[in-house]
Amino acid sequence: MKVSQLFTKTLKQAPADEVAKNAQLLLRAGYVHKELAGVYAYLPLGLRVVENIKQIVREEMDAIGGQELLMSTLQPSDIWQKTNRWDDSAVDNWFKTKLFNGTELGVGLTHEEPIVDAAIPYVSSYKDLPKMVYQIGAKFRNEKRAKSGMLRGREFIMKDMYSFARDQKQHEEVYERIAAAYHRIYERLGIGEKTFRVKADGGIFTKRYSDEFQTISPVGEDTIFHIPDTEDYYNREVAPAQAPEHEMPTELLPMEECRAPGVVGVEQLAKVLDIPVARTVKTMLYVIDGVVTAVAVRGDYAVSEVKLRMALGASSIALADAETVKRTTGAELGFAGLIGLPDDVRRVVDDSVAPLTNFELGANKTDFHNKNVNWDRDVPRPERFYDIKEAQAGDIHPASGQVYEVVKAVEVGNIFPLETKYTDALDMFYADEQGERQQIIMGSYGLGVSRLLGVLAEHFSDERGLVWPEAIAPYRLYIVQIGADEKVVAEAEKLCEIAQSWGVSVLYDDTDKRPGEKFADADLLGIPHRVVVSTKTVEAGKYEYKARTSDESELASIDRLKSILTH
């Protein structure tokens, strides 16, 4: 491909409203075009990279027995209603549309229900299992805040695989086979050493963890907790956490009620009460499976609603509204405490609160807090404390006693055990060897192709531009023609033909730009290999070669180039 014929050109500056590094680079290099926040078009160079990523994914999915298909984007509501995922209160990021006759349709955000519906005619016997199918296509999610360039979009490219198994044992065999394939994908993309399998929330229909694949990155939205010297990683939302110890007063002071009107936040409250933040306690009221529940954590922690749900085996959790809080505590929002609550209010207290002495609690009275509260004397000590806090830096992994290593990361894949939620709801079963009807266990396996484009652009770049790995680069060789001398042009075109005969894809800069501009374009585009053809090189009977990852160039013979480019 000649640069003069490319649909795109490089830009000196990215649009002012684009702050994410990955999007800035991809826009400047002409790989993508921004339609609106969270929606990008893939231009010829960008599409080549996307297709290269897809091909790696496809090869690994096929290698483990996956079968590729393509489901429809438009989805009828009836199958989603059967799993209670059609209503916006259950799934709040649907895009929906209507036919002329008023029939409401969904715009595909995931495909668990449609894939079960499609599989029902073909899976009826134990002989039909296991099965794995996948697709690579566009997904649409009405994100409230699309951000970070390609990392969080409203329209994005995703590989989603679904598995069907006869029992838990068969499911786990398939699940681990797919997890291993994910590791191979990331290795081939060049991010294997920075991408880890991370335990995460499994959702309301399984007691098991799901698994995320997280790439360590300073731009990551997720916080990952790692047990040192192990392969165990947890997402913040599920990380088991023991709070580090703080020195506590040994002299128990009399409890006193303190007025603190207009105080916002635990830091300000601690200042007003003249106590450390670590001796304040947040008490929040939830409605959990219909039961009003007072949930208490140390003031410097947040409640992890995921861990709270898992601890109680709950299916429904929501913060209590202001009316429920007032009716239960007698106070406005912000003053709830554990003392004097009605007997029918369940109490769930985090283990960070257990060792506290002379601590603060809301007084269940507007504008008032209790200070110097102590267990047993002022408030009954719970029979059991829970780990329901959101882990934070400095926390300890309870089982090992080790302090977590904490890093930021970008989720580049996830795999979920779905149990029988979708197959049961859509009446999909199989007959075993005795002809008995049995449930089918399902798994879901997502991998963000367009998100990987953004992650790779962030990771493989420097101050000059992109630095693509050879496996995904749009072209492997960038030939720079310097000058319009006939011999130079002829030699550059000859090298193009030779390189292509070696199976090397070529982008040939035949423009009349100055050499410095051409070199800057080559660096911005991130093509792995650059060869300069000039009057000087033609006279020497060699070529000037430089790898994108090197600052040094060399004069190379045609045999040397072949060795480099066909290794």
Model pLDDT, residue 373: 98
- For 12, the 3-state DSSP assignment is coil
Long-range Cβ contact pairs of 119-123 (< 8 A, separation 24 or more): 119/164, 119/428, 120/426, 120/427, 120/428, 123/164, 123/428, 123/430, 123/440
Q: What CA–CA distance (Å, rounded) separates 468 from 526? A: 5
- The pLDDT, as a whole number, for residue 525 is 98
CA distances from 531 to 518, 539, 558 (A): 11, 15, 11
In three-state secondary structure terms, 404 is coil
Q: Is 341 exposed, middle or buried (0-12, 13-18, 19+ CB in 10 A)?
A: buried
What is the pLDDT at residue 14?
86
Supply the DSSP symbol for 109.
S
Neighbours of 481 (CB within 10 A): 26
Region at 126 (left for phi over 0; alpha for psi -120 to 50; beta for the rest): alpha
Tell the residue number behind the tokens 């009275």, with chain if given.
365
Q: Write down the pLDDT at residue 489.
A: 95
- Work out the number of other CB atoms within 10 angstroms of the CB of residue 265: 12
Cα(452)–Cα(215) distance, integer angstroms: 10
**What is the third-level CATH fold of 3-240+407-457?**
BirA Bifunctional Protein; domain 2 (3.30.930)
Q: Where in the chain is the domain with CATH 3.30.930.10?
A: 3-240+407-457
Number of H helices, E strands in the chain: 14, 30
Neighbours of 231 (CB within 10 A): 8
* Confidence at residue 90, expressed as pLDDT on a 0 to 100 scale: 84
Q: DSSP letters of 208-276?
A: S-EEEEEEE-TT-SEEEEE-TTSS-EEETTT---BPPP----SS-PPPEEEE-TT--SHHHHHHHHTS-
Beta bridge partners of 199: 211, 234
The dotted CATH code for 477-566 is: 3.40.50.800
Q: What distances in angstroms separate CA 65 from CA 130, 133, 300, one per listed residue?
A: 10, 9, 49
Model confidence pTM above 0.85: yes
CA-to-CA distance for 153 and 176, rounded, in angstroms?
29
Residues of the chain where predicted confidence (pLDDT) is lower than 70: none
CA–CA distance, 22 with 461 (Å, rounded to integer): 9
Q: Which residue has the tokens 């970070």?
A: 148
| DSSP type of residue 133 | E
10 Å CB burial of residue 363 (0-12, 13-18, 19+) is buried
Give the start-end residues of each E strand in 422-500. Answer: 429-431, 437-439, 441-448, 461-462, 465-466, 477-481
Which CATH code is given to the segment(s) 256-373? 3.90.960.10
Q: How far apart are CA 145 and CA 346, in angstroms?
A: 35
* DSSP 8-class letter at 83: T
pLDDT in tens, 224-243: 999 999 999 999 999 999 99
Distance set, CA 227 to CA 135, 209, 403 (Å):
35, 17, 7
Residue entry with tokens 């049995």: 438
Residue ranges, CATH 3.90.960.10, the chain: 256-373
Residue 17: predicted pLDDT:
84
Tens of pLDDT, residues 335-384 = 999 999 999 999 999 999 999 999 999 999 999 999 999 999 999 999 99
